[in-house]
Amino acid sequence: MTRMAHDERTRNYVKRRTSQGLSKREIIRCLKRYVAREIYPVLTSDLTTNN
């Protein structure tokens, strides 16, 4: 929700997906997956460096 309000890339993405006919709920679902894909490598690399 914060990214939708403050991040320019995310606002552009929301505009694009809205014009494609997606609902706000569907857009948020897509954004959650996108954020998870960004964060997962950071989390797993942190685990491998600590072992």
**One-character DSSP codes across 3-49:** HHHH-HHHHHHHHHHHHTT--HHHHHHHHHHHHHHHHHHHHHHHHHH
Task: Quick: pLDDT tens for 1-49.
Answer: 788 889 899 999 999 999 999 999 999 999 999 889 989 999 888 666 6
Q: Does pTM surpass 0.85?
A: no
**pLDDT tens digits, 42-51:** 988 866 666 5
Residue type present at position 49 = T
Question: Domain residue spans in the chain?
Answer: 2-50
Give the torsion sign (CA, 15, 17, 18, 23): negative
**Distance in angstroms (rounded) separating the CA atoms of residues 4 and 21:** 17
